Amino acid sequence: MVDGLNQEDKRTRVILGNIQSCVAELDLLLTHLLAMADGVLGKSSVCLCITLASKGKDVKAAEKELGDTEDELRKHVESLVQATQLHKFSTRTANKLKQADARRFWDEHFGDQREVSVETLAEALRFEVNEREYKGLDSEVALPICRQCFAGQTVTVLGFGEVFATASISDTMAALSKRVKAQSHMFAVKVFDYEEKKIDQTTEPGFFMCRASDSLKVIRHLVMTHALTLGEDEDDSDDEFTFNGGVVGTTGTNDKHSPRSLHDVPPEFRFMASGEFSFFLDNGAVRVTRKQEKTLEGEEYLSRVVLVRNDDLPDSLRPKKKVQKSGGIAGPGSNDDTAWETESRAGEGSSMGDGKDTEAYAEDVAEAIMRRASEELAVSSCRDIVTALRTPGILQGLRVAVVRARLPEEALTFLVEVDQLRRAAGAISPTAAGALSLPRLRMVKASATNIATRFLAAGASYGLPVSDEVRATAANEIAETASLAEQEDPPPFGLDKRMLEALVVPFLETEKTLAPALGSLRRKQANQNKVVTGKNATAGEKKKHRVVILGGGDAGNTVAFDLARDDRFHVTLVDPKNYFEDVTAQPMLLCNPGTATEGRWCGTVCAYGTVIDAGSHSRNSHVPGFAMSVSKSFVEVGSERAVVPYDSLVITTGSSYSSNIKIENPTAEFRLRQLQAEAAVIRCSDTILVIGGGLVGVECASNIGERYPGKRVVLVQSGSVLLPRVPKAHAKIMKRMEQLGVEVHLNERVIAFDDMLREYKTDKGNVFHAGKVYRCVGATPNTGLFKDDRTDPAIAAQVDDKGFVKVTAYCQLNGFTNVYAGGDILEDKMFGSSGAHAVDGNQYPERIASTAFIHGLIIARNIKRKLDGEPEGGANLCSFDKNNDPFGAALEISLGLECGLGVVHPILADIYDSMNFSFGISREELERDKCGVSPEVARNKEQVTALVVGAFQNVEMNQIVQGMFGGDPKMKDPLAAPPGGAPEGGAPEAAPEAAPVPEAVAYEPEAVPEAVAEEPEAVPEAVAEEPEAVPAAVAEMAVPEPEAVAEEPEPEPAAVAEVAVPEAVPEAPAAEPVPDPEAAAAEPEDAQAVQAVE
């Protein structure tokens, strides 16, 4: 029956499989009937029926079952006949592919196949290029072309035909290859007034995205498409990404606000939409003919070209209208200029002009096809809630969308945790069909109980948009099943399944509630590469210098606050959060963050709106999202790759931890609820385990030990001393730990983690069962955006082998005059040291908040001075010199709320003492040990936090901080007042401090994560009961030495305050971030994709 069929065809394979299933089912039915009739089969079906009836069997039911199966078999056979006729009477490729070369290619390589994988098509194209020796084509570009042109894993005949519809395989491949290799380019549409010989300032068509290799022929097509989007003001009422600016253009075709008719376009832009313009170079000096447009390509021409209305040109230069064979406009034409040929539309299949301009048309098609594929891929990544949850970049966009839709953020966190639990459970196979799997049961029980406690039980930390009845039913079912699982001999079947099923109804109801946010995100995703601008200037105003800042931490906010209050600048702050958080203060509020109006936490945050708001005239903006890539004139933000242009760029993306210490939740309100939930977890845990004895670990262990003297607090340190970067500190800290009852294990590493069972084993055989675990063992610079494929290669090259950014002493990227960087992401030479390591004697860079403030001051002052006319490398520019640091860092490390460890040079201590900022440590002890324990240190840290947060809200306070850091000898400011004078605004009552941070660590919440957003919350793999709470701990902490190496000198984070300079008031504080083990374990993908804040 199947002779002559192509059994490799997908449709045929499916039909044959269905027929085989039906035949097998009939066979089973007959066997069953025979068994019912005791093997007695008459010579007809009547005899069989009589036999069955005589035995009391239901003959009608048997007859119906046989009839249904026979009908199904008949349908499949008919489908097979159809497929046979299709193969016999038509060639699918010949029917579907209009372009001759495309037909030839598909027939040669795939025959009658309707679809192939992307990889298979790429291999065929690679073979074609090599075999036919296409000139100038690299066969290795075939796979990137296929991946960018075809969304999904397979390519159908129709999909192939859409890409290779007009030009030959070689011409289309050449055009696609050029676009795949080229960088993105932001094209500014400039209309030139030919009579006045200047740019027409009354017409501002905005920007659109193209490729740096595009020809003016392609640009013409993009200008016409772009003009059709200028018909209406966009309505952002349902847009979760309110940019506080205007969307000025997009080359996308899915914008529901974009007009599709020429008559909908404003009159001043209709000449663009209809193609009635000519290109000129060099401000109208050189005219480009239509025939030349396809040969002039690349940035050399894109940066010089302007548009001139054809109606404004003299008759001698005005393009002549020409009759087209297809019925175009009548008029005499010239052989030199064919300005009125029919404009091609990508995907329509019509030829361009007289049909000979296939190369230019191939480029048109390449642009449209790749844009459409990009949009389809973006939309597919958020086709449903679960898909969005599993894509880090999309997840962060969904978080923002949820906030914009005024839905509870915890609802999304709940979905994330349940989805992670399902995936983790699915990864553990049962021991046999339905048999009990103890590892799976333990994991599901721990995670489900944790989720129920925090989201579903009465008095839960978080609320869900579901009815009380649904919550109670699910919580009770999980509690009842969990109690059965705790029995010595639990029931052998179904307990894990029962707990998972109990979460289904609340999951579905929550998913339904978030549907509006998902729809809003999907619409956003459909419009890739929108060009976004702030409200730079009103009519008659001079255009402002656009400064884009990536990351709202200490360095980024220092720049933002200063420039936002200078009328010459328009500031755009890019950060996934809407608030600044001084993480250096968090170890002291871990156990009791307080409320939104009272307690410690409310004094550690401020809204970004206050940072960049310079009054009623301010047009500065905050773009919520992760920076994805950087080009020479713009950055791409968020999964929809919104384009934000700049004149000067400041990259202060900070660092991130393996556990989610630096959280990227969109709102401060939800962050507070997380910290409150974290405090509740600590309160309910009998044992708290802190891994890592550096700055972060010491602060966390001591603060928890002081607040809960009855709990077992265990601190495990891989090295031989605590706080090894301060040689004489170990004995003093150990004494404090003994007073607090903290159990310290030195020269010991945790080597086995079971977050579900809360069981942790060390290399010395100790086993700790902890309700809460803090992994204080490392951070990495947020430089993922430098590695993005769309980042300019020259910018991407400015990252060293450790992942840090290489800059000049002026905080500029090497080779760039308008791209700056500051904070934790900078290379080692941009940080001072706190001295020799206690174990190996080496000196390590201290990546701390105070140094980030200095970077911010240098950047802000240099941008302003260069705008004033100071040349590159000019004598009046500020610079950084780590070697100009006579006293080293001054640190304040919290050892609880009652006291702390101060690290300061005796002379520097005298200076601070004269400013009423005493460390409370005797001169004798400082001369001997350079450190000491004192109650004043803990009090000073609180004052430092107030000063830091106040500096980003109040001009007078900001002047005090600028005075402090401006006097730091590491910062060289040729225009600064002579040292010795009090900072402007008077000396503060308390001097700020800064905290050291290890090489790969950072403290500031400054960053704009690049790829993804974090999922702090529960991951099934993470500690069951508190996957979510991200330890609030810590600011600028450096990362404690990794546990892996006993004497590892790797710098630890510091929750400290580093005292600045003798000449000035000390610097800003820094606190250590405390890693959150639970979140980390559960969200590996997020941890990689996200670029957290400094």
690-716 pLDDT per residue, tens:
999 988 899 999 999 999 998 999 999
Instruction: Provide the 8-state DSSP code for 170.
Output: H
Cα separation values, 763 from 756, 766, 772, Å? 20, 7, 20
Helix (H, G, I), strand (E, B) or coil at 772: strand
Inform me whether the pLDDT recorded for 33 exceeds 50.
Answer: yes
Q: Cβ contacts of residue 649 below 8 Å, gap of 6+? A: 547, 548, 550, 630, 635, 818, 819, 820
Inform me whether the pLDDT recorded for 656 exceeds 70.
Answer: yes
Instruction: Provide the 8-state DSSP code for 312.
Output: G
Confidence of residue 288 (pLDDT cuts 50, 70, 90): very high
Confidence of residue 495 (pLDDT cuts 50, 70, 90): confident
CA dihedral (184, 185, 189, 194) positive or negative: negative
Helix (H, G, I), strand (E, B) or coil at 306: strand
Of 88-92, 295-299, 553-557, 931-935, give the lowest mean pLDDT range: 88-92
Inform me whether the pLDDT recorded for 403 exceeds 50.
Answer: yes
Return the pLDDT at 10. Answer: 57
Instruction: Provide the 8-state DSSP code for 456.
Output: I
CB 561, CB 536: distance < 8 Å: no
Return the pLDDT at 191. Answer: 93
Paired residues of 156 in beta bridges: 115
Confidence of residue 1069 (pLDDT cuts 50, 70, 90): very low
Of 17-21, 49-53, 751-755, give the lowest mean pLDDT range: 49-53
**Residue whose pair of structure tokens reads 């242009």 in the numeric block:** 645
CA 910/CA 918 separation, integer angstroms: 8
Return the pLDDT at 941. Answer: 87
Cβ burial 583-594 (10 Å sphere, 16+ → b, else e): bbbbbbbbbbbb
pLDDT in tens, 874-913: 999 999 999 988 888 788 899 999 999 999 989 888 888 8
The residue with greater pLDDT, 127 or 965, is 127
The residue with greater pLDDT, 294 or 1036, is 294
Of 147-161, 232-246, 839-853, give the lowest mean pLDDT range: 232-246
Provide the mean pLDDT of the chain: 77
CB 694, CB 1039: distance < 8 Å: yes
Inform me whether the pLDDT recorded for 1062 exceeds 50.
Answer: no
Return the pLDDT at 742. Answer: 96
CA 652/CA 552 separation, integer angstroms: 8
Inform me whether the pLDDT recorded for 992 exceeds 80.
Answer: no
> CA angle, corner 116, sides to 110 and 120, nearest 5?
85
CA dihedral (154, 157, 158, 163) positive or negative: positive
Cα separation values, 657 from 604, 662, 688, 789, 852, Å? 20, 7, 19, 24, 18
